[in-house]
């Protein structure tokens, strides 16, 4: 129980640090009215907007009222169009979730089986070609992969749309762009986790008891090899979200990432802060879920934590 409370407390502190860090850095970067309003506007109008956006008060007062509003779920209004910042961001969430979700499925669906094959047939040609492909996969910058795909499939072969998000055809290239480097990474992690497990003495026991390859891999090796892979899955959330920002920009996919690059260019403080907080929250949650899954998959962690708590 104490273990759980510590985790939650840590997550809350991390969130608070992110909010504070983002708030102060963005506020100290200059007066948004200088960027958002035309140059030739008179000072009175500027003051009006400063008051409207709450920029005229001391920064600490702004900070406390921002925190207070946040706790009530109020992320402020977009400087651009006076709409609720959270509403603007929330509308884009399904698109980003669809993109990252599909990419994650692709990467796990390709990476894990390849990793297993490579480990089971270690040092064979299967292993070598999987490892070679995976080095190529994660060396390829995703923005360049996206551009290559557009060149080949949109401009040359003319079979897939290069931008937008109307149909499932629009999803193929962005999801592949985002998923392939993760597939390569998961193939590597799965392989090394499997090799670790396959060398364990209980695998020899299973073999001596006469269990076939399929049974040994599926029942004895996989559950144990899953533990490190799940951990890495949690760590990769941040990378996945960062990759989504780039992928969405390359393919003009109308998700959070594209909103962020636009909002950042327009200095829309409220929207940028809202997106950063939501992304940080996603990461913190993903890490917490990973921790819990870890304890669930590996009873040793649970027992260890309980012993530590006593």
Partner 1 sequence: MTEAASSVVQGRRFAVLRRLSDLPAAVGLAAGFMAVMLLIMIFAKLLQPYAFDHIDLVNRLTPPVPLSGSTWLHPTGTDTLGRDLFSRLLVATQTSMLLALLGTCLGAVLGIALGFVAAHKGGLWDELIMGLVDFQAAMPWFIVALALLAFLGNSMVIFIAIMALYGWETYARITRGLVLSAREQGYALAIRGLGGRPRWIYLRHILPNISGPLLVQLTVNFPSTILFETSLSFLGLGIRPPMTSLGQMLGEGRDYLINAWWLAVVPGMTIFFITLSMSILGDWLRGKLDPSLED
Can you give the binding site for partner 1, defined by CB under 8 A?
10, 14, 17-18, 21-22, 25-26, 29-30, 135-136, 138-141, 143-144, 147-148, 150-151, 155, 188-189, 191-192, 195, 235, 238-239, 241-242, 245-246, 249-250, 260-261, 264-265, 267, 272, 275-276, 279-280, 283-284, 287
In angstroms, give the least distance from the CB of 42 to partner 1.
Answer: 25
Using CA atoms, how far apart are residues 11 and 285, in angstroms rounded to an integer?
8
What radius of gyration do the chain's Cα atoms show? 24
In angstroms, give the least distance from the CB of 44 to partner 1.
Answer: 26
In angstroms, give the least distance from the CB of 151 to partner 1.
Answer: 6
- Residue recorded with tokens 């913190």: 284
- Which lies closer to partner 1 via its Cβ, residue 171 or residue 275? 275
In angstroms, give the least distance from the CB of 23 to partner 1.
Answer: 11
- Which lies closer to partner 1 via its Cβ, residue 216 or residue 267? 267
- Which residues are registered as beta bridge partners of 77? 84
- Which lies closer to partner 1 via its Cβ, residue 62 or residue 192? 192
Using CA atoms, how far apart are residues 104 and 97, in angstroms rounded to an integer?
10
- Which lies closer to partner 1 via its Cβ, residue 78 or residue 287? 287
- Which lies closer to partner 1 via its Cβ, residue 65 or residue 192? 192
Alpha helices in the chain (DSSP H): 2-27, 32-36, 43-52, 59-71, 85-120, 125-139, 142-149, 168-198, 201-208, 213-215, 222-235, 237-250, 256-265, 269-297, 299-309
- Which lies closer to partner 1 via its Cβ, residue 110 or residue 244? 244
In angstroms, give the least distance from the CB of 74 to partner 1.
Answer: 20
- Residue recorded with tokens 């290559």: 148
In angstroms, give the least distance from the CB of 176 to partner 1.
Answer: 16
The pair phi, psi for residue 77, each rounded to 5°, is: -110, 150
- Which lies closer to partner 1 via its Cβ, residue 11 or residue 211? 11
Q: Contact, 228 vs 236, CB < 8 A?
A: no
* Residue 39 three-state SS: coil
- Which lies closer to partner 1 via its Cβ, residue 122 or residue 211? 122
In angstroms, give the least distance from the CB of 302 to partner 1.
Answer: 21
- Residue recorded with tokens 């958002």: 36
Using CA atoms, how far apart are residues 65 and 62, in angstroms rounded to an integer?
5
Residue 242, token pair as written in the block = 């960062």
Q: Is the dihedral of CA 173, 178, 180, 181 positive or negative?
A: positive
Residue 106, token pair as written in the block = 């692709």
In angstroms, give the least distance from the CB of 281 to partner 1.
Answer: 10
């Amino acid at each position: 129980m104490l273990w759980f409370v510590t985790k939650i407390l840590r997550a809350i502190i991390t969130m608070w640090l992110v909010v504070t860090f983002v708030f102060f850095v963005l506020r100290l970067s200059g007066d948004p009215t200088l960027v958002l309003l035309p140059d030739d506007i008179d000072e009175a109008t500027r003051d009006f907007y400063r008051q409207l956006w709450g920029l005229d008060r001391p920064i600490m007062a702004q900070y406390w009222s921002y925190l207070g509003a946040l706790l009530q779920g109020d992320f402020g209004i977009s400087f651009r169009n006076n709409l609720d910042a959270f509403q603007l961001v929330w509308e884009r969430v399904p698109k980003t979730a669809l993109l990252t979700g599909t990419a994650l499925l692709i990467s796990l669906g390709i990476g894990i089986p390849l990793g297993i094959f490579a480990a089971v047939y270690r040092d064979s040609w299967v292993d070598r070609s999987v490892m070679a492909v995976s080095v190529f996969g994660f060396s390829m910058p995703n923005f360049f992969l996206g551009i290559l795909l557009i060149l080949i499939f949109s401009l040359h072969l003319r079979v897939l749309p290069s931008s937008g998000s109307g149909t499932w055809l629009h999803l193929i290239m962005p999801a592949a762009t985002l998923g392939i480097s993760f597939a390569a990474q998961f193939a590597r992690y799965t392989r090394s986790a499997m090799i670790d497990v396959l060398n364990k003495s209980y695998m020899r026991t299973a073999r001596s008891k006469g269990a076939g390859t399929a049974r040994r891999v599926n029942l004895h090796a996989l559950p144990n090899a899953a533990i490190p892979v799940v951990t890495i899955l949690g760590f990769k959330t941040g990378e996945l979200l960062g990759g989504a920002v780039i992928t969405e920009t390359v393919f003009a996919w109308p998700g959070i990432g594209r909103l962020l690059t636009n909002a950042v260019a327009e200095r829309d403080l409220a929207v940028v802060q809202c997106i950063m907080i939501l992304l940080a929250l996603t990461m913190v949650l993903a890490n917490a879920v990973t921790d819990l899954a870890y304890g669930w998959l590996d009873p040793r962690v649970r027992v260890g934590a309980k012993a530590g708590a006593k």
